[in-house]
């Protein structure tokens, strides 16, 4: 891909920022706050206007895209919880002992709501912030009611404003996620190309696994959006293009995962290197589609296909076994990339809206089964000290209360900043809390340094107000991308808001640093020593789940083949669960390595096992593409025999993973006769491909079983 000039890069990044849904949410919130303060302060005291702005901020926390009804309901519930927490805290402020009972009770209840899912976790966070910010503006008597009404009015104003911009903002959200998925897929293809060029594939697995996890998260968000929306309304609003593009990308990701990698076959040959170059051009084409470049049709799939087909090896009159194996490997590699080019054609056409997509994208049954639902039973099931969310809620309630007491004892100005830091930093797991503590501290220190520089240069309230307003949208942009930068912008906002209300800005900055450090230390100590939630205890369950889902994926491939279909809901679900569960295992394993004492015990063993699982998933994905695209030429009986054998091997791996000592593996020769007959059919290319993939997968499962049994590293076949 040609190098892009610096100014063009900056222009593209600026455009991408303006199109970012999170940035749009920040702009909408700033607009709502400015209008509310101007209007309310004209009729009421400034404190009422500030309370109105607080209501806008708290409701904006619950602003998660999706179904319109669910979106509004989430904001309304978040507003009700926020108002309730503010009222109860402020009513008990004059009764210290009662306040010390109400504070932890409300903190626990608010935090525990997160067990109900992602939307509920935002409501939970909004409630916790309201709980803490109630200490920032203490009121008494009827002033408490006025504050509550002002917060409610601000929240309702933001909800109404949000509804007005709903169609525009959620199209922006969908397109943003799809563009992210395009770029992640391009990155994944680039890493696959690097694997093809490398003498050893092992070096590329860690970055591949990281990108795989990001893809899984993105796919889950997009799937939740599409499945939460009525299928008829999707067709009416013209979102079918986006749904079809999503499906095409998922298919391309499956093909990318199925790119065959063999260490001993054709490594660094001219043909394989040429295939890797074509993968790079597919990657560039996807990035161009995501960037909406004016020339994003430059990498024409047909041109790439001609280059690809020119690499097909000619048959030898006197072939050797080694050459036959290389020709076979190159053949399946070329077939895989050829199918990727088909997907690229569709993606480019959808990017320019050339392809018609007016029909329903997903079956009505899919919407009915996969529509995100609230699991109310989770409130009861998780109410146990064994549950991570329950323990996190207890820990948070205790540390928020401790932070309040520390602030009172030390007489720290704005002591609620300690509590705010604890609420923002403390996560269910130790590693997440440790990372947040460090990132929050770094971001706060940098933000404080920048704020001090501005205060040194000017005392203009206009400048302070502009910086405080501009900082908010950027805080939303980086909240889930780089928390250090988000903390920097939060610090700038808070410091300059208080600088306009406080005579000494330097004092505000100093207290901000002190309170943040105290809160970060309390959060880290609590995550380490107060009912710690070590994730290494859940590795076995996640490993077993990943194996079961990979097995189910293989079984659904077989079921699809037997039914003579190329696609189906059960197959899509099994495929998604296989990728998502392996991603969850990867992410948890990375955190386990950073737990105290976790790395030394589990690093070597789990690293081999996780890599084995990725290799196995890659081969299973390739078997699936083989069955889907070449089904008519395969014998059902023989295919069923092979799949049954592989399913048995994966079951054996699962039993070993969960330490089921009573399990005895069936004898491997149980299907020896049928397998021998299948091997006799090697003269048919599709039979040859399937049997070689079967043999390779058997090698991988055998090695995984050895790793599960002994924990010793093995050589890569």
**390 vs 628, more confident:** 390
Say if residue 274's pLDDT is above 50. yes
Say if residue 431's pLDDT is above 70. yes
CA-to-CA distance for 66 and 264, rounded, in angstroms? 48
C-beta neighbour count of 480 within 10 angstroms: 9
**661 vs 380, more confident:** 380
CA-to-CA distance for 581 and 669, rounded, in angstroms? 31
Q: Which of 167-171, 261-265, 678-682 is the most confident on average? A: 167-171
DSSP code string of 621-634? HHHHHHHHHSGGGS
Structure confidence at residue 662 as a pLDDT band (50, 70, 90): very low
Among 448-452, 479-483, 548-552, 713-717, the minimum mean pLDDT is found in 713-717
User: What pLDDT score does 503 carry?
Assistant: 65
Say if residue 713's pLDDT is above 70. no
User: What pLDDT score does 240 carry?
Assistant: 67
**660 vs 608, more confident:** 608
Structure confidence at residue 282 as a pLDDT band (50, 70, 90): confident
User: What pLDDT score does 717 carry?
Assistant: 33
C-beta neighbour count of 231 within 10 angstroms: 21
CB neighbours of 120 closer than 8 A, spacing ≥ 6?
113, 114, 374
Tokens of 507: 């004092």
Q: What is the pTM of this model?
A: 0.81
Note the pLDDT tens digit of each residue in 286-328. 888 887 754 444 457 778 888 888 877 665 444 444 556 677 7
CA-to-CA distance for 452 and 603, rounded, in angstroms? 44
Instruction: Supply the mean pLDDT for the chain.
Output: 79
User: What pLDDT score does 598 carry?
Assistant: 56
Q: Where in the chain is the domain with CATH 1.20.120?
A: 174-370
DSSP code string of 391-410? HHHHHHHHHHHHHHHHHHHH
> Residues 111, 121: contact at Cβ < 8 Å?
no
Tokens of 278: 């074509």
User: What proportions of the chain, in percent to the nearest 5, are helix, strand and coil?
Assistant: 80, 0, 20
Note the pLDDT tens digit of each residue in 247-257. 888 888 888 88
User: What pLDDT score does 551 carry?
Assistant: 93
Note the pLDDT tens digit of each residue in 509-531. 787 788 888 888 888 888 888 88
* Mean pLDDT calculated for residue range 638-657: 86
> Residues 401, 440: contact at Cβ < 8 Å?
no
**706 vs 363, more confident:** 706
Say if residue 654's pLDDT is above 80. yes
Say if residue 130's pLDDT is above 60. yes
> Residues 196, 273: contact at Cβ < 8 Å?
yes
User: What pLDDT score does 687 carry?
Assistant: 65
CA-to-CA distance for 175 and 294, rounded, in angstroms? 18
Say if residue 53's pLDDT is above 60. yes
> Largest Cα–Cα distance in the chain?
97
DSSP code string of 528-549? HHSS---GGGGHHHHHHHHHHH
Say if residue 27's pLDDT is above 90. no
User: What pLDDT score does 362 carry?
Assistant: 58
Burial call 159-192: b when 16+ CB within 10 Å, e when fewer: bebbeeeeeebbbbbbbbbbbbbbbbbbbbbbbb
C-beta neighbour count of 316 within 10 angstroms: 10
Cα dihedral 23, 26, 30, 36 sign: positive
Say if residue 609's pLDDT is above 80. yes
CATH number for the domain formed by residue range(s) 174-370: 1.20.120
> Residues 327, 684: contact at Cβ < 8 Å?
no
C-beta neighbour count of 87 within 10 angstroms: 18
Half-sphere CA count of 703, side-chain side, radius 13 A: 20
Q: Where in the chain is the domain with CATH 1.20.58?
A: 537-710
Say if residue 230's pLDDT is above 50. yes
User: What pLDDT score does 76 carry?
Assistant: 93
CA-to-CA distance for 426 and 39, rounded, in angstroms? 37
User: What pLDDT score does 107 carry?
Assistant: 93
Q: Which of 15-24, 232-241, 473-482 is the most confident on average? A: 473-482
CA-to-CA distance for 317 and 710, rounded, in angstroms? 46
* Mean pLDDT calculated for residue range 637-665: 78
The CATH architecture that domain 537-710 belongs to is Up-down Bundle (1.20)
Note the pLDDT tens digit of each residue in 579-594. 888 888 888 888 887 7
Structure confidence at residue 672 as a pLDDT band (50, 70, 90): low
What percent of the chain lies above the pLDDT cut of 90?
A: 13
User: What pLDDT score does 187 carry?
Assistant: 92
User: What pLDDT score does 399 carry?
Assistant: 92
């Amino acid at each position: 891909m040609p190098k892009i000039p610096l100014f063009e890069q900056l222009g593209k990044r600026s455009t991408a920022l303006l199109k970012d849904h999170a940035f749009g949410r920040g702009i909408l919130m700033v607009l709502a706050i400015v209008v509310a303060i101007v209007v309310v302060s004209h009729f009421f005291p400034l404190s009422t206007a500030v309370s109105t702005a607080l209501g806008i901020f708290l409701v904006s926390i619950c602003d998660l895209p999706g179904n319109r009804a669910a979106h509004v309901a989430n904001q309304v519930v978040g507003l009700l919880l926020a108002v309730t927490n503010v009222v109860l805290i402020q009513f008990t402020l004059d009764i210290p002992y009662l306040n010390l009972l109400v504070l932890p009770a409300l903190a626990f209840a608010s935090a525990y709501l997160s067990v109900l899912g992602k939307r509920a976790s935002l409501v939970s966070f909004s409630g916790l912030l309201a709980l803490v910010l109630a200490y920032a503006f203490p009121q008494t008597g009827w002033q408490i009611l006025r504050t509550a009404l002002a917060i409610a009015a601000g929240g309702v104003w933001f909800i109404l404003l949000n509804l007005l911009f709903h169609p525009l903002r959620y199209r922006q959200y969908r397109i943003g996620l799809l563009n992210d998925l395009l770029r992640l897929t391009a990155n994944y293809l680039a890493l696959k190309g690097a694997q093809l060029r490398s003498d050893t594939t092992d070096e590329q697995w860690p970055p591949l696994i990281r990108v795989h996890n990001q893809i899984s998260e993105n796919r889950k968000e997009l799937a939740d959006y599409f499945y939460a929306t009525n299928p008829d309304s999707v067709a009416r609003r013209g979102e079918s293009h986006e749904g079809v593009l999503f499906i095409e990308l998922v298919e391309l990701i499956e093909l990318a995962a199925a790119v065959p990698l063999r260490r001993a076959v054709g490594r660094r040959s001219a043909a394989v290197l040429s295939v890797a170059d074509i993968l790079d051009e597919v990657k560039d084409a996807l990035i161009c589609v995501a960037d909406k470049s004016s020339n994003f049709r430059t990498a024409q799939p047909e041109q790439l296909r001609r280059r690809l087909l020119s690499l097909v090896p000619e048959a030898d009159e006197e072939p050797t076994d080694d050459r036959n194996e290389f020709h076979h490997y190159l053949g399946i590699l070329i077939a895989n990339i050829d199918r990727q080019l088909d997907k690229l054609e569709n993606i480019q056409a959808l990017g320019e809206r050339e392809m018609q997509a007016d029909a329903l994208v997903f079956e009505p049954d899919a919407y009915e089964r996969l529509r995100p639902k609230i699991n109310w039973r989770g409130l009861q099931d998780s109410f146990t000290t064994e549950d991570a969310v329950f323990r996190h809620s207890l820990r948070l309630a205790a540390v928020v209360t401790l932070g309040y007491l520390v602030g009172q004892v030390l007489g720290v100005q704005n002591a609620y900043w300690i509590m705010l830091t604890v609420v923002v930093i403390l996560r269910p797991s130790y590693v997440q809390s440790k990372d947040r503590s460090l990132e929050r501290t770094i971001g706060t220190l940098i933000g404080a340094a920048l704020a001090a520089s501005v205060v040194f240069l000017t005392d203009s309230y206009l400048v302070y107000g502009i910086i405080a307003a501009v900082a908010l949208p950027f805080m939303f942009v980086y909240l889930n991308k780089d928390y250090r930068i988000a903390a920097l912008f939060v610090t700038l906002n808070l410091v300059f808001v208080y600088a306009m209300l406080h005579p000494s800005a330097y004092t505000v900055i100093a207290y901000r640093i002190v309170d943040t450090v105290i809160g970060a230390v309390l959060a880290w100590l609590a995550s380490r020593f107060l009912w710690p939630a070590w994730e290494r205890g859940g590795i076995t369950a996640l490993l077993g789940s990943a194996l079961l889902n990979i097995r189910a994926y293989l079984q659904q491939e077989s079921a699809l083949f037997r039914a003579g279909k190329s696609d189906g809901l059960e197959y899509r679900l099994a495929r998604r669960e296989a990728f998502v569960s392996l991603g969850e295992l990867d992410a948890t394993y990375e955190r386990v390595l950073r737990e105290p004492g976790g790395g030394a015990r589990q690093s070597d063993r789990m690293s081999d096992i996780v890599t084995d699982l990725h290799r196995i998933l890659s081969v299973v994905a390739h078997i699936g593409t083989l069955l889907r695209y070449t089904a008519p030429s395969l014998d059902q009986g023989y295919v069923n025999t092979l799949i049954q054998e592989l399913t048995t091997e994966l079951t054996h791996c699962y039993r070993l993973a969960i330490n089921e000592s009573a399990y005895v593996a069936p004898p491997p020769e149980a299907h020896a006769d049928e397998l021998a007959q299948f091997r006799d059919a090697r003269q048919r290319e599709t039979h040859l491909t399937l049997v070689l993939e079967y043999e390779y997968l058997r090698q991988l499962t055998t090695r995984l079983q050895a790793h599960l049994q002994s924990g010793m590293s093995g050589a890569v076949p």
